A and B are shown apart, each in its own frame.
Chain A
Amino acid sequence: ELKVEQNPLFLSMQEGKNYTIYCNYSTTSDRLYWYRQDPGKSLESLFVLLSNGAVKQEGRLMASLDTKARLSTLHITAAVHDLSATYFCAVGDNSGGSNYKLTFGKGTLLTVNP
């Protein structure tokens, strides 16, 4: 059974600071996703990482994937208040055959303080 662990679960940081959210998973997977969720809203896709060493950047967020370590990171650079949200990583699980599905981490609630 695929397990996905995110940490930290809660992150309070000041504007302008840098921080990293970690996502570990237990079995081999060919893709990893990062999503953002604002309160009361659905998920917004941030990144899809498909290969070892993949790095993607969008604005102040950068995601990377190390499939050998089964680890993905979401790095936040010079945080701003607008980044406050819950961030989820999700790992592709093809163990069910044709029913490819995602297993989600518990999420990281990020609060950026002025």
Chain B
Amino acid sequence: GAVVSQHPSRVICKSGTSVKIECRSLDFQATTMFWYRQFPKQSLMLMATSNEGSKATYEQGVEKDKFLINHASLTLSTLTVTSAHPEDSSFYICSARERTNTGELFFGEGSRLTVL
């Protein structure tokens, strides 16, 4: 199956700093990528949908200025957590949908963010 790579897999940062997480589709072009957040023992919550070359669409309650999403190419989307605080500590997972729109989504390995 197609491969989606996330980096870093784990990151620890100090409160007030910004952290960037990358999501790459390695062997296919992804017109649409999705960013999810998962708290311990909970389900995945969709944060935003990013389309290549356009602004991301954020879900209700997700702060656009805090979670900056850029989808500059068909193989790369980035999520930047700005001015991170301990409550932003979570598991962030991206997924990508093939350009051919087969419907199947491929998930990255996830990035665990810990804000001290």
Question: Are A and B physically bound partners?
Answer: yes
Hey, which bits of chain A sit against chain B, CB under 8 A? 31, 33, 35, 40-43, 45, 48, 50, 88, 92, 96, 98-107, 109
Q: Which of B6, B34, B43, B107 contacts A101 (CB 8 A)?
A: B34
Name the B residues within 8 Å of A33 (CB-CB).
105
Name the B residues within 8 Å of A96 (CB-CB).
49, 57
* Complexed CA–CA distance, A101 and B34 (Å): 8
Additional pairs, 16, CB under 8 Å, beyond known A42-B93, A107-B42: A35-B107, A41-B109, A42-B110, A43-B93, A45-B1, A45-B106, A88-B43, A88-B44, A96-B49, A98-B51, A99-B32, A100-B101, A100-B103, A101-B46, A102-B34, A103-B46
Closest to A44 in B: B107
Q: How far is the CB of B57 from chain A (nearest CB, A)?
A: 6
Q: How far is the CB of A86 from chain B (nearest CB, A)?
A: 9
Query: Chain B: interface residue count, which band?
Result: 20 to 34
Name the B residues within 8 Å of A100 (CB-CB).
32, 97, 101, 103
Q: How far is the CB of B94 from chain A (nearest CB, A)?
A: 9
Q: Which of B57, B105, B109, B110 contacts A102 (CB 8 A)?
A: B105
Name the A residues within 8 Å of B43 (CB-CB).
88, 104-107
Q: Are B107 and A99 in contact (CB under 8 A)?
A: no
* Complexed CA–CA distance, A96 and B61 (Å): 17
Q: How far is the CB of A108 from chain B (nearest CB, A)?
A: 10
Q: Are B103 and A31 in contact (CB under 8 A)?
A: yes
Q: In residues 21-68 of chain B, which contact A (Cβ within 8 Å)? A: 32, 34, 41-44, 46, 49, 51, 57
